[in-house]
Structures are given as C-alpha cells and as structure tokens.
Amino acid sequence: MAAPRNAPVSFTTGAAAYASPEHVPAAWQPDRKGEIEGLQPSGARLGNQGPDQGYVLLLAAKLRPQVQVKKGEHVDDALRGCINIALKRASLFSRAPVVHDLTIALTIWGWLDASPPADLVECRRALFEGVAHVTAHYSEGRVIADMVPETTLRMNPSQVRAAMPASWKLLTGVPAK
C-alpha cells in the first residue's frame, strides 16, 4: 500500500510483508442445528431457493395494473401463482428475481393479454382460484410453478411473446387433450 510522500521511510528496513499467523484454525464445518449439509434439499412443497426473493413482491406491485382478469378471476390469485413461477425461474439462474421473470410468468398464462383464448382462461381459472391465500392453498401454488417446463423458464421474454397465444399449453406445461 502506498504511503504519503511526507511519511518517513527507512530504506534499510524495507517494506512490511505478509506473514502467516502462528495458529491456523480448522476448516469450517456445518455442525450447528439447522445448517444444511451438502446441497439444498429439493422436492414437493419445498419451493425454489434463491437470493433476495422478497424483491419479487415489489415487482408484482409494479406490474399489478397491467394484469388483465376475466369474470371470476382475481388479480391477487394471478400474481401469487406467477410469483411462484418467477421465483422458480430466478433460482434456475441462481440469482434474485428480475422483472423478466414475472413478465414471462404472466405472459404464458395470458394475464397480460386483453383477449386470451377461452380455453386458456378456463384452465387458469381452475388452477389459480384461491392461490392468493397462501396458508390455505400453498400446494396449489406449487403445482402451478412445478408444471411449467424448464424449457419455458429458459426462454427470454421476446421468445415467449412470439409463442403466445398459439403455444400456451406447451409453455405452461398443461397436457394437451
């Protein structure tokens, strides 16, 4: 590190150099209760872990005015179900959620479209009903997130918009009849 020009320096002593400490502590071990050993667990109802996931709530509040609902549907249900998808997409890329995660989720379910196909509306009405009540309908929210294929989650927003509404079943993972 540089010293000010007016600092007295002896040319005979030389500059200080790094020296290892006499005691080297043992490597860290996950030995406390509640610490995860190995990989983060995955499975039914465990969700998708990632950093700063609460940020998606701010994104949802900003996108709320753009959500188009039909009779019998609720904006809160649409946002909660799509938040689950957005968090799954963000964790797939090992990052915090961004606006594109939520817009992709809203787009594949037709929530940003003023006139989505009737069969899409019928399907999403049944799937998303009551999902906003997280304590009572957590499992239903997880089903929505888990049904979306990884190929869809890896797409960018323009690819998703280009595929909608013709390929909504493929994008959402809804089985074709």
Q: What is the pLDDT of residues 107-151, one digit of tens each?
A: 999 999 999 999 999 999 999 999 999 888 989 999 999 999 999
pLDDT higher than threshold 80 for residue 36: no
Q: How would DSSP label each residue in 51-89?
A: TTTTHHHHHHHHHGGG----TT--HHHHHHHHHHHHHHH
* 92 band by pLDDT with thresholds 50, 70 and 90: very high
**What is the model's pLDDT at position 34?**
76
CA distance 127 to 134: 14
Sign of the C-alpha dihedral computed for residues 12, 16, 17 and 22 taken in this order: positive
**What is the model's pLDDT at position 29?**
78
Q: Would you list the domain boundaries of the chain?
A: 55-172
